Chains A and B, each alone.
Chain A
């Protein structure tokens, strides 16, 4: 199974601080996704990213969030000023195929557990 990697595995931060979560998706894939899962709750879509720009974002993805692809392989999610309610598991995902979008399943990275104090 193709591998999606994420760093760090855990991050603890103070409220109001900026955090950057990193993902290395499956190589040569054009679509990337971020999801989050608050402890005990369902997995929620945050944003999809295609060809170096946001293609869709959810209501959760407000101005505090941004995504970038700083180089050819990494894909980052930045939270500018963290809030207590940002504490969650953040997953990066790639579709099964390089052109995959609709009707495609996705492979998830192991996640970054973010704790905001």
Chain B
């Protein structure tokens, strides 16, 4: 089983739509959770951290369900500029953990006019 699993998409949505991405992780002891955004041929950039209580940043809402080992990202009122690949990222747990990030393969979003 992959450490971090995402539906690769692509998700093709019209401007203004609401779209949700899901991610599952295999290690129940994973410690920290993030959503990154990656534009074509660019570096990953942090979109937001994900907390158990859920958190919101403008049009973006992230949720974590530790019991189900499931992370979600909701984007409301999609903009053309939201077109990118969204990466689900976790950090492993343990004393030997050096803070490395474990990435999912990403979900591609294409927002159409």
Contacts and interface: CB of A to CB of B under 8 A. Distances in A.
Interface of A: 31, 33, 35, 41-45, 48, 50, 55-56, 89, 91, 93, 95, 100-111, 113
Contacts of B91: 102-103
Contact of B99 (A35, A100, A107): A100
Contact of A42 (B34, B97, B104): B104
A55 B94 CA distance: 14
B102 interface: yes
B interface, how many residues as a size bin? 20 to 34
A110 B42 contact: yes
A45 B105 contact: no
Contacts of A55: 98
B32 A102 contact: yes
B98 A48 contact: yes
Contact of A50 (B41, B46, B98): B98
The 6 closest A-B CB pairs, nearest first, are A108-B43, A101-B99, A48-B98, A43-B103, A56-B98, A42-B105
A31 B44 contact: no
Contacts of B104: 42
Interface string B81-113: 000000100010000111111111110000000
A34 B44 CA distance: 13
B12 interface: no
A91 B43 contact: yes
Contacts of A106: 46, 99, 101
Contacts of A31: 98-99
Contacts of A48: 98-100
A30 to B, nearest CB: 11
B10 to A, nearest CB: 13
B45 interface: yes
A42 B99 contact: no
Nearest to B48: A105
Nearest to A50: B98
Contacts of B31: 102-103
B93 to A, nearest CB: 8
B22 interface: no
